Structure 1
Amino acid sequence: MVSIKDIAKKAGVSISTVSYALNGSPKVTKETSERIQAIAKELNYIPSAAARSLKKRETKIIGIYLTNYSGAFYGELLQGMMETLSKNGYELIVCSGKESHRFLPERMIDGAIILDATYETEELLSHAERGHKLVVMDRRMDHPNISQVLLDNKAGATLAIDHLAEKGHRKIYVLKGPEISFDARQRLEAVQKAVQRYSQIEYIELDGDFNKPSGEAAGKKIHQEFSEPVGVFCLNDEMAIGMYNYFSRTNLRVGEDVHIIGFDNIEVSQYIQPRLATINYSKHKWGSLASELLINLIKKKKPEHERINVSLIEGDSVRNR
């Protein structure tokens, strides 16, 4: 691989002169600069991104850390991030796994957005202490180099339980998410508080993992126990769709025997029949705002804490009891 040392040797100048010329510095004459640029092109010189970022202390790249890439959830979120970053001259890379954690301390990225439950809070705090800029979307943190933008999970879960109760449902299953998930824990806490306001509700929790197979497994259990119409709150739409898949193979009907409400309003929720009742919010706005807050931190502005509002979308998957 060609280095600036090779260019300097062919041009008969010092390495520093080559560096000045390649970086457009006025310290070298126009004639010398053009000659060095021509030699660099002739030798197919490719500048080292690592060396350049080390010198400028910026890469113009932002990392988004995700627990995983599965499911239909991430498209709008990432689109919102990319659009905002692009407008501000940044690019986005998607990261997952322990090995990518070195991108921050090695300054391969200028900052990070965290939606990764496996990324330890202590490790993030240690990065922030060293001056790295972070935005968290899946936990609460208080540090001058960390902003947070969280979903109003508790409001959404409360809306879901109230909707089932208002439709007359007195037996309600709640399909939980993974314990490691901040959003799942927040939603479940709100559910547990909301059902206390309805003394006649029989409330049952089922284990889930935010994916379709766990929705199908929960559907099977509900089927085995079925004796009368029931309401079900799935803590995300992926599990709700898994439940639809299961009941499509049985004699029970969604919206008649089993009344299902989800959370996230992913695109496919609009097309399944009956239309899934769900908790809606703008994933595009969530991603865009996270990017905006991170850019502000990089510009040395104060950290901000924002919340994404939610709303209920009614559907025929939940009808009157």
Structure 2
Amino acid sequence: MVSIKDIARRAGVSISTVSYALNGNPKVTEETSKRILAVAKELNYVPNAAARTLKKRETRIIGAFLTTFEGAFYGKLLQGMKEEMNKRGYDLVICSGTQSHRMLPEGILDGAIILDRLFSDEELLLHANRGHKLVVLDRELKHDNIVQVLLDNKAGATFAMEYLIRNGHQKLYAVTGPEGSFDSEQRLGAARQTVERGGPLITYKEIPGNFDKASGEAAALRIISEYDGPVGVFCLNDEMAIGMYQALRGTPYRVGEHIHVVGFDHIDITDYVQPRMATIDYSERRWGAVAAEQLIKLVEGDSSAQHERIYVGLVEGESVGPASAGM
């Protein structure tokens, strides 16, 4: 690989003069600068990005760390991040897997947005202690170098359960997310509290899920096996709710009549299933944009960086009244 030493040797100048010319420093005359740049072009010189980063102590690259890319949820979230970063002169790199975690301590990134259960709280606090700037979307951490931009999971789960109770359901299920998921734990806690407030006549069960269609299908089969009358089901995300719709298709049990489903995330497909699905709505794009905005404020030392909460609302479904117990 061609280095600035090679350019200096060919141009007959010092290494520092080459460095000044390549960086546009006015210490070098226009004539000398043109000669050096011509030699650099002739030798196909490519600047060493790592060395430049070390000198400037910035890359203008932000990392988004995700546990997975699967499902319909991530596209708009990442697009919101990208749009906000590009407006402010930053680029986005998407990272997944434990090996990618080394990008933080190696200084490849100016900061990171975390939606990755593979990061432990201790690991993130260690990075923050070393001066790395972080925005977390999936946990609550207190540190001067960490900002939380969190979805209002508790409000959303409360809306979902109250909606089912308000429409006459006394037998309720919740299909959970993966173990250790912050969103699942927040939603599940609020669902339990809402059921407790609903009174002693309500029965409530939880079915383990994994935020994917397959676990929604499995939950539907269990509900069918236990069916003795109309039920309300809160799937803690839309992917599982769609899986439940698919599993019930072709059975005697109809969504919106025997089994009433509420999801969470309002992914695009929920507007097209029949009957229309009830779901908890928010803007994934805005969530990503706010996360990017707050992180760049942290990176640039803007004292207005602050914790943010992304608010949610209920989109009602069709045929929400419970069917009679007999079929």
| Deviation of the 1:249 alpha carbon | 3.2
Q: Secondary structure at the match of 1:26?
A: coil
In the other structure, the counterpart of 1:2 is 2
Q: What is the identity, as a one-letter code, of the residue corresponding to 1:319? A: G
| Deviation of the 1:319 alpha carbon | 3.5
In the other structure, the counterpart of 2:308 is 306
| Contact 2:230-2:322 within 8 A present in 1 as well | no
In the other structure, the counterpart of 1:219 is 220
Question: After superposition, where does 1:88-99 map in structure 2 within 5 Å?
Answer: 88-99=88-99
- The answer to whether structure 1 residue 172 and structure 2 residue 172 are counterparts is yes
Q: Secondary structure at the match of 1:196?
A: helix
In the other structure, the counterpart of 2:73 is 73
In the other structure, the counterpart of 1:190 is 190
Determine which of 312, 315, 318 is the counterpart of 1:316. 318
| Contact 1:260-1:317 within 8 A present in 2 as well | no
Question: After superposition, where does 1:110-259 map in structure 2 within 5 Å?
Answer: 110-199=110-199, 200-259=201-260
| Contact 1:113-1:290 within 8 A present in 2 as well | yes
What is the CA–CA distance in structure 1 between the aligned matches of 2:135 and 2:219, rounded to whole Å?
34
Q: Secondary structure at the match of 1:260?
A: strand
What is the CA–CA distance in structure 2 between the aligned matches of 1:317 and 1:213, rounded to whole Å?
25
| Contact 1:65-1:95 within 8 A present in 2 as well | yes
What is the CA–CA distance in structure 2 between the aligned matches of 1:300 and 1:122, rounded to whole Å?
24
| Deviation of the 1:271 alpha carbon | 1.1
- The answer to whether structure 1 residue 33 and structure 2 residue 33 are counterparts is yes
- Tell me how large the CA RMSD over aligned residues is: 1.0
- The answer to whether structure 1 residue 293 and structure 2 residue 313 are counterparts is no
Q: What is the identity, as a one-letter code, of the residue corresponding to 1:217? A: A
Aligned pairs, number:
321
What is the CA–CA distance in structure 2 between the aligned matches of 1:317 and 1:121, rounded to whole Å?
43
Mean Cα displacement is larger for which, 208-217 or 301-310? 301-310
Q: Secondary structure at the match of 1:118?
A: coil
What is the CA–CA distance in structure 1 between the aligned matches of 2:49 and 2:241, rounded to whole Å?
45
Mean Cα displacement is larger for which, 298-307 or 265-274? 298-307
| Contact 2:258-2:322 within 8 A present in 1 as well | no
What is the CA–CA distance in structure 2 between the aligned matches of 1:10 and 1:25, rounded to whole Å?
20
What is the CA–CA distance in structure 1 between the aligned matches of 2:190 and 2:320, rounded to whole Å?
20
Q: Secondary structure at the match of 1:274?
A: coil
Q: Secondary structure at the match of 1:233?
A: strand
Q: Secondary structure at the match of 2:106?
A: coil
| Deviation of the 1:49 alpha carbon | 1.2
Q: Secondary structure at the match of 1:44?
A: coil
What is the CA–CA distance in structure 1 between the aligned matches of 2:276 and 2:34, rounded to whole Å?
65
| Deviation of the 1:275 alpha carbon | 1.1
What is the CA–CA distance in structure 2 between the aligned matches of 1:241 and 1:301, rounded to whole Å?
42
**TM-score where L is the length of structure 1:** 0.98
| Contact 2:154-2:187 within 8 A present in 1 as well | yes
What is the CA–CA distance in structure 1 between the aligned matches of 2:56 and 2:319, rounded to whole Å?
55
Q: What is the identity, as a one-letter code, of the residue corresponding to 1:240? A: A
In the other structure, the counterpart of 2:52 is 52
Q: What is the identity, as a one-letter code, of the residue corresponding to 2:58? A: E
| Deviation of the 1:301 alpha carbon | 2.4
| Deviation of the 1:318 alpha carbon | 3.3
In the other structure, the counterpart of 1:261 is 262
- The answer to whether structure 1 residue 61 and structure 2 residue 91 are counterparts is no
Cα deviations across residues 144-176 of structure 1 (Å, max 9, x unaligned)?
Answer: 111111011000000000000011011011001
In the other structure, the counterpart of 2:85 is 85
What is the CA–CA distance in structure 2 between the aligned matches of 1:256 and 1:23, rounded to whole Å?
70
Mean Cα displacement is larger for which, 282-291 or 97-106? 97-106
Structure 1 residue ranges without an equivalent (≥5): none
What is the CA–CA distance in structure 2 between the aligned matches of 1:40 and 1:319, rounded to whole Å?
75
| Contact 1:261-1:317 within 8 A present in 2 as well | no
What is the CA–CA distance in structure 2 between the aligned matches of 1:10 and 1:272, rounded to whole Å?
69
| Deviation of the 1:320 alpha carbon | 4.5
Give 4+ residue runs of structure 1 displaced > 3 Å after superposition.
317-321
What is the CA–CA distance in structure 1 between the aligned matches of 2:54 and 2:219, rounded to whole Å?
51
Q: Secondary structure at the match of 2:174?
A: strand
Q: Secondary structure at the match of 1:273?
A: coil
Question: After superposition, where does 1:14-29 map in structure 2 within 5 Å?
Answer: 14-29=14-29
